[in-house]
Every structure is written in C-alpha cells, then in structure tokens.
C-alpha cells in the first residue's frame, strides 16, 4: 500500500494562497501609491489642466467622430471607476483626471461645431464687396491683409484679402466698405505633411476663403480705427516715424504685439538665434510692465507721508500694476501667451497683496485652464505649447532642492551675488532651451543651439533697457523730450539685432530635423510634464518616455520625395539636399520644401543632376536608395505631351507626378499621382528606404471639419 502525506493543518489550498498573495500585493502597492500621492498632494491640482489638455490633444490626434466618441466613453468609464474605487487619493485623482480629459475632448469638439462657417468649395473669380473687420500690415512683405465681412451672395460671409501696399487705397480701416474683383481660393491646407496647417486656424477663425484682388480696390466708405485698434495703429505709425525701419519693427512688436512689421531677415535671424520669444509678447514682457508699474507707483505714492500712513501702499500699487498688465494685454491683442501671462501676473499680485507667495505650478495650471476653456484650439498651436512649456520649466527648475540651495539669495559679496545670478540665468536658459527644443523641431523642423548664450545678453537687454527706454520715449514725447530715449531705444535694438545676426550666421547654430513621428512628440511632452509636475523622485520616471521619444525623433528618416497638394512642386531629397522640379519656384515654396527636408539653405535644381533628364515639359530622374532604384516621371508645364510617348514613359516609371489629370493609359509600376489623386491625398512625403511608405496630409488631418473635400475619406493612409 502506498501512503500519501496528509496536508498540514491550517494550510490553505494553493489557489486560495495565490489569491491571498495577490490581494496582499495589491494592498501593499495601493498603500505605497497612497503614500507617494500624499507626499505630492500639493502637486495634484495642476494635473486637472493636464487632463483637460489631454482630452483636447486626443481630439486633434484622433481621426474620426467614431474615435472621438470612443475616447469620450473610455474617459467617462475611467472617471467612474476612479470615483468608485474608494476614498483614497489615487482613485479621486484618476477620476478627476479622466473627467477633465472627457471635458477637454467634448469642449474642443463643441467649439469646432459652433465656429463652423461656410467655406469656398473651389477657386473662383468674383466681384465682392464687404466691410473691413481687421487690418494687418505686413511691412516685411509689403502687403496688407484685410479680413472682410462679405455682403456678396454665394461667397463665404468672412474672407481675407491680401493687398499689395503699392495698390492699397486710403481709407482701409476697420468699418470701411470696399469693393473689388478678386481671385479667391479655399483656405489652403498644409502643403506638406507636418508643415503649418492654415486651414485649421482659418476654421476656428471663421474664414471661408482667402485671395488677392485682380484690379484696383474701391473704397465705398472710408473707415477709421476705433478703440484699441486706433491706439495700436497710432502707436505703430508713431514708432515708425521715430526709428529706422529695422529697429522700428522690433519696437512695434514690443509695444503692440504686431510682429508683421519685423523685417523678414531680422525675423529669420531671431528665430535661428533662439530669440523669437522676445518678439511674441508673453511672460517676459508682462512681467516687465507689471514690475515697472508696481515699482514706480509704489515709489511715487510713498513720497506722500499722508498716503503712506493711511493706506496700504503695497495693495494700491498692486492694483495699479494689475491695471497696467490688463491694459498691455488688451493693447497687444490678447494673444494666448499674453493672456496666460496676464492671468499669472494677476494671481501673483493677489498673492503679494495677501502677503503670500503665489508663484507655483497651480498658478500656471490656472492660466492654462482659463485659456483652454475659452480657446481650446490654442493647444494645437506652437505659441501655446512653447509659452507654457517655458514658464513651467522655469518654475520646475527653481522648485528643485538643488536650485533652492545653489541659487537662493544670501548675504555675500558682490562677486558671489553676481556669479550666483549668472549661474541662475545660464541654468534657466538651458532648461528652457531643452523644454522648447522638441516643440521647435516638431513645428518648425529646426531649433537654435546657441539660444542659451544669446538669451544671457538678450533678455536683460530687452527687459532693462529696450522696453523701459521705449516706454519712457513714448511717455516723454508728450512733452517733446522723447528724443534721447528714442536714441537709446534704437541703439539697444540695433545691438539686439546685431547679436541675433551674429549668432544666426555661426556655423552649427541650428539643429534640423525633417520629420518627427507624432507619437514621439507626444512621448516627449508626456515625459516633460511628468518631470515638471512632481517634486519627489517620482518625477525621474518622466525621463523614460522623454528619452524614448527623443531617440525615435532622432532616428526618424528623411523623406525621399516631397510633393505639394497641387502637384506643381516636386522635390527629390538627395543626401539631405532637396532638388526641386521647377526652377522658378517662389521663395515661400522653396523655404517650405527646405523646412520639410531638414535642409538649412536654398533648394537646388533637379535638372542639373546627372541622374535626371529634363525638358521644358517633363523630368525623368532616377532615385537610388540602397540597392534599389526608383524611376520618377514628373510633368513641369501645361503643354500636352504626345500620348504614345508619354504612356510608354509612364510604363517605364515607378512614380508619375503631374498637376493635371493623366490619361488612363498612363500606368506606372507603383504610384500614379495626378490632379484627381492629389486632391484626395493632399501633399505627400514619400519614404523609399526599406518598405516604401507614403505620408499624406489627408492622413494627418483625418475627418476634422477643416479637411479638404473628400481628402479625409480617400487619402493614402
């Protein structure tokens, strides 16, 4: 007989012991999570802003209404699960975050419906008349952009005309009624995948068409700038009379927020030098105005002994500074960075008035929520992203233990104080550059590498010399004493521009990236937010997604072929250099192709390369990728080519591109991209290395309301 051992008394069966083990593990993990969140309890409220932004970002990233609905259902389910998990911080935090995400997605979806306006279906030439709504002077391009409320039947109610300055009649101002014969087109989508999407911005602005007059513009009733428009226009003219053209553009941008007056070469140099943020009125400028107003008002009020004894002068001067900040925000157009900075400044002033320190992540989160509730579409723009990223990175840096120990003011000699201040400027500049680099590379395909060193000089120069001298010049002009201050302002701006041009012309001043996967950008943003919002070592986990996204972005391949949505412009990218099909391509398209190629320079001509054969009507080129060869055939004129010879050439080509409809007999070996196909796909970036793939504008836009007709449904995926 075979004996078996009896089980130990009191020992549970194996499945029950396993369940007990996992129950204990989850209990311990939950307790540890609660302990971590308890230590970070002060940092939990800002995640509401992140949740709101995540929902808005999901709406832009997902393609179709069915996907938006699925996201809303998922977010609502997660919120319900979080709120029913119990009374712990983890459950409540998850619930509120998911609820904010659902609200964000629903909010931007609802706004996209509410702002819907008729759009032009196809290019048209029409006689129109309408009332001028806004006027923007683009001095660098010698053009004036006029937004009209159209009264012409069959045209969108709101459209934009670009009028050359040499044909601009007098009397063009808000409220004017004008008539013109113009060529109008629908708001153009992004020309190439990853470039600026004007159609998206035009949708939220209610613009249904853009165009140019074909003849003289007739002013039926002259208009006059009124309110803040009148003040801005008067300031612009006054500054342009006091300063030379180049410094005047910078001074106008600082005073009114209008960057259109900045010379194009100066704007390019500022961007390459990492100083573009100085032209966009945001935190730096609001801080300077508020601090100056509070300092001056406090000192002037303190001169009266009676006022000093009877009133809380700090509270009064905080009110004066708040009024100055609000006025400057309205004067400069209430753009997203300015509104965010103004909200932050008001909260700081409230904290000062109450005797508390209000500068924190909660302040930044409050500003973000205010902006996103009223303009959720701002999240997709580079201005919103870069503005909030910069200020968040600064606050996160100075909240670290290292920064508090090393950069905090203390009783020491002037050399020590100066060195500590300089170290703080350098550290802050480095952190801001790292924070902004992913956004600059994603939106503009380039980022300045020497911006830290340029900003060490440029920020103090702008804050303590340029802006005060300009303010003093405008103030003392009323007494006729402004000339010395204008001289100082002009010379300091010339110094700023000299610095920008010197940095921009330095070899290796700009890092270039032709493309970046959207998921890689999202991973870097998620990692950066995680790093900034936590205070404990939990924040270090954010390095993982940031590093993964950075590596993916750095390893992303360059496109081998770029094709604009109209089929007129084709570029073969050979060794990083774009080679364009048409020699007479305009400067705008050239810069667009160079940007999408990650090329720092002017594109070259495809017809001059030995592996291409071009006539005035067509080009044939051989594209070599590794061991493979791809034969490209592209038309370059409107002249019809002999049918038989063209169909033979099509059959020998792998890719055929044309800006017109090609005959059915044209059957290339891989891809036929004529006018009907390109209307469905939009602009294309083609990658031929390894497994060939096509990235299209239609695939990026999806079924969002500003998608071109039919493109979102039938585009290449």
Confidence at 202, pLDDT banded by 50, 70, 90: very high
* Model pLDDT, residue 607: 86
Q: Which residues contact 341 (CB under 8 A, 6 or more apart)?
A: 282, 283, 285, 286, 287, 329, 367, 387, 391
pLDDT tens, residue by residue, 325-356? 888 888 777 666 677 677 777 777 777 776 66
* Model pLDDT, residue 705: 93
User: Of 57 and 479, which is predicted with more confidence?
Assistant: 57
What is the percent of the chain with per-residue pLDDT over 90, rounded to a whole number? 32
**Mean pLDDT of the chain, nearest integer:** 84
DSSP for 50-68, please give it. HHHHHHHHHHHHS-SHHHH
Q: Would you say residue 225 has pLDDT above 90?
A: no
Q: Would you say residue 145 has pLDDT above 50?
A: yes
User: Of 120 and 292, which is predicted with more confidence?
Assistant: 120
* Model pLDDT, residue 112: 95
Q: Would you say residue 198 has pLDDT above 50?
A: yes
User: Of 500 and 287, which is predicted with more confidence?
Assistant: 500
Q: Would you say residue 437 has pLDDT above 90?
A: no
Q: Would you say residue 5 has pLDDT above 60?
A: no
The region of weakest confidence among 53-57, 406-410, 494-498, 682-686 is 406-410
Alpha-carbon distances of 260 from 203, 205, 269, rounded to whole Å: 22, 18, 15
**Whole-number Å distance between alpha carbons of 403 and 487:** 39
What does the DSSP 8-state code read for residue 408?
Answer: S
Confidence at 87, pLDDT banded by 50, 70, 90: low
Q: Would you say residue 542 has pLDDT above 50?
A: yes
User: Of 442 and 264, which is predicted with more confidence?
Assistant: 442
Residue 35 CB burial class (10 angstroms; 0-12, 13-18, ≥19): exposed
Backbone angles phi, psi at 447, to 5 degrees: -150, 135
Q: Would you say residue 8 has pLDDT above 60?
A: no
Residues 650/667, Cβ–Cβ less than 8 Å: yes
Q: Would you say residue 369 has pLDDT above 70?
A: yes
Confidence at 102, pLDDT banded by 50, 70, 90: very high
The region of weakest confidence among 215-224, 329-338, 549-558 is 329-338
Q: Would you say residue 571 has pLDDT above 80?
A: yes
The region of weakest confidence among 341-345, 380-384, 597-601, 610-614 is 341-345
Q: What residue spans of 115-263 are helical by DSSP H?
A: 198-205, 227-242, 245-256
Residue 80's H or E segment, with its range, is helix 65-84
Q: Would you say residue 301 has pLDDT above 60?
A: yes
* Model pLDDT, residue 16: 63
The region of weakest confidence among 28-32, 34-38, 171-175 is 28-32
The region of weakest confidence among 283-292, 393-402, 588-597 is 283-292
Q: Quickly tell me which residue has 């106008």 as its tokens.
A: 252
**Whole-number Å distance between alpha carbons of 171 and 180:** 14
Query: What three-state secondary structure class fits 477?
Result: helix
Q: Which residues contact 438 (CB under 8 A, 6 or more apart)?
A: 516, 521, 524, 525, 528, 549, 550, 553
* Model pLDDT, residue 276: 77
Q: What is the largest CA-CA distance in the chain?
A: 120
Average pLDDT value for residue range 377-406: 84
* Model pLDDT, residue 638: 81
* Model pLDDT, residue 29: 67
The region of weakest confidence among 5-19, 137-151, 161-175, 690-704 is 5-19
Q: Would you say residue 1 has pLDDT above 50?
A: no
The region of weakest confidence among 365-374, 412-421, 585-594 is 412-421
Q: Would you say residue 101 has pLDDT above 80?
A: yes
Average pLDDT value for residue range 459-475: 86
Residues 598/624, Cβ–Cβ less than 8 Å: no
* Model pLDDT, residue 336: 62
Average pLDDT value for residue range 305-321: 81
* Model pLDDT, residue 357: 56
* Model pLDDT, residue 114: 94
**Whole-number Å distance between alpha carbons of 101 and 58:** 9
What is the percent of the chain with per-residue pLDDT over 70, rounded to a whole number? 92
pTM: 0.84
* CA quadruple 11, 14, 20, 25: dihedral, nearest 10: 120
Average pLDDT value for residue range 162-185: 89
CA 471 to chain CA centroid, Å, is 29
Q: Would you say residue 132 has pLDDT above 60?
A: yes
User: Of 663 and 11, which is predicted with more confidence?
Assistant: 663
* Model pLDDT, residue 715: 36
Residue 258 CB burial class (10 angstroms; 0-12, 13-18, ≥19): buried
Q: Would you say residue 233 has pLDDT above 90?
A: no
Residue 231 CB burial class (10 angstroms; 0-12, 13-18, ≥19): middle
DSSP for 96-132, please give it. HHHHHHHHHHHHHHHHHHHT-----SS-EEEEEEEEE
Q: Quickly tell me which residue has 């996204």 as its tokens.
A: 549
Q: Would you say residue 710 has pLDDT above 70?
A: no
Confidence at 550, pLDDT banded by 50, 70, 90: very high
Average pLDDT value for residue range 644-670: 90
Assigned CATH for 124-224: 2.40.50.140
User: Of 431 and 96, which is predicted with more confidence?
Assistant: 96
Average pLDDT value for residue range 497-506: 88
Q: Would you say residue 18 has pLDDT above 70?
A: no
Q: Would you say residue 541 has pLDDT above 80?
A: yes
């Amino acid at each position: 007989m075979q004996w078996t051992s009896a089980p130990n008394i009191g020992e549970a069966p194996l499945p029950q012991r396993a369940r007990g083990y996992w129950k204990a593990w989850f209990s311990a993990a939950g307790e540890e999570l609660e302990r971590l969140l308890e230590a970070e309890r002060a940092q939990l409220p800002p995640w509401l802003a992140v949740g709101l932004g995540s929902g808005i970002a999901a709406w832009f990233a997902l393609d179709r209404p069915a996907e938006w609905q699925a996201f809303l259902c998922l977010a609502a389910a997660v919120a319900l699960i979080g709120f029913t998990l119990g009374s712990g911080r983890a459950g409540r935090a998850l619930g509120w975050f998911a609820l904010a995400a659902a609200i964000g997605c629903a909010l931007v979806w609802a706004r996209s419906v509410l702002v819907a306006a008729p759009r032009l279906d196809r290019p048209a030439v029409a006689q129109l008349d309408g009332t001028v709504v806004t006027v923007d002077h683009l001095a660098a391009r010698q053009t004036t952009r006029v937004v009209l409320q159209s009264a012409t039947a069959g045209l969108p109610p709101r459209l934009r005309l670009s009028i050359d300055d040499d044909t601009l009649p007098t009397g063009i101002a808000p409220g004017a009624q004008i008539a013109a014969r113009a060529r109008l087109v629908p708001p153009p989508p992004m020309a190439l995948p990853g470039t600026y999407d004007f159609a998206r911005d035009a949708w939220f602005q209610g613009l249904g068409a853009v165009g140019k007059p074909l003849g003289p513009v007739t002013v039926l009733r002259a208009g006059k700038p009124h309110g803040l428009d009148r003040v801005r226009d008067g300031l612009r003219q006054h500054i342009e009379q006091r300063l030379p053209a180049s410094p005047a553009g910078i001074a106008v941008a600082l005073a009114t927020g209008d960057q259109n007056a900045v010379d194009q070469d100066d704007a390019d140099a500022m961007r390459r030098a990492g100083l573009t943020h100085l032209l966009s009125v945001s935190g730096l400028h609001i801080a300077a105005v508020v601090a100056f107003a509070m300092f001056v008002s406090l000192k002037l009020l303190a001169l009266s002994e009676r006022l000093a004894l009877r009133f809380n002068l700090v509270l009064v001067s905080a009110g004066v500074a708040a009024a100055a900040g609000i006025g400057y925000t309205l004067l400069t157009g209430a753009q997203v960075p300015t509104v965010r900075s103004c909200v932050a400044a008001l909260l700081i002033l409230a904290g000062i008035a109450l005797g508390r320190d209000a500068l924190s992540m909660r302040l930044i989160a409050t500003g973000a929520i205010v902006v996103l509730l009223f303009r959720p579409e701002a999240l997709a723009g580079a201005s919103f992203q870069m503005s909030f990223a910069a200020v968040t990175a600064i606050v996160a840096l100075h909240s670290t233990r290292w920064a508090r120990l090393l950069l905090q003011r203390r009783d020491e000699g002037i050399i020590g104080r100066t060195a500590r201040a300089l170290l703080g400027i350098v550290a802050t500049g480095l952190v801001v550059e790292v924070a902004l680099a992913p956004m600059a590379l994603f939106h503009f395909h380039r980022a300045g590498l020497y911006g830290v060193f340029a900003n060490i000089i440029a920020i103090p120069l702008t804050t303590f010399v340029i802006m005060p001298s300009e303010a003093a010049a405008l103030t003392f002009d009323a007494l006729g004493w402004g000339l010395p201050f204008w001289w100082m302002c002009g010379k300091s701006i010339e110094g700023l521009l000299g610095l920008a041009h010197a940095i921009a012309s330095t070899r290796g001043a700009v890092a270039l990236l032709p493309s970046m996967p959207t998921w890689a950008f999202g991973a870097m943003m998620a990692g950066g937010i995680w790093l900034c919002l936590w205070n404990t070592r939990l924040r270090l986990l954010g390095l993982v997604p940031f590093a993964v996204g950075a590596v993916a972005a750095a390893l992303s391949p360059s496109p081998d072929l770029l094709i604009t949505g109209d089929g007129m412009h084709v570029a073969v990218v050979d060794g990083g250099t774009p080679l364009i099909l048409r020699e007479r391509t305009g400067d705008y398209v050239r810069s667009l192709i160079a940007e999408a190629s990650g090329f720092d320079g002017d594109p070259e001509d495809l017809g001059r390369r030995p592996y291409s054969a071009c006539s005035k009507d067509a080009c044939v080129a051989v594209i070599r990728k590794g061991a493979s060869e791809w034969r490209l055939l592209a038309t370059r004129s409107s002249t019809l080519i002999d049918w038989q010879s063209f169909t033979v050439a099509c059959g020998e080509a792998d890719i055929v591109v044309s800006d017109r409809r090609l005959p059915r007999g044209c059957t290339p070996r891989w891809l036929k991209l004529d006018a009907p196909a390109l209307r469905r796909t939009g602009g294309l970036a083609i990658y031929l290395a390894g497994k060939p793939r096509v990235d299209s504008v239609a695939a990026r836009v999806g079924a969002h309301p500003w998608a071109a007709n039919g493109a979102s449904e039938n585009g290449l995926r």
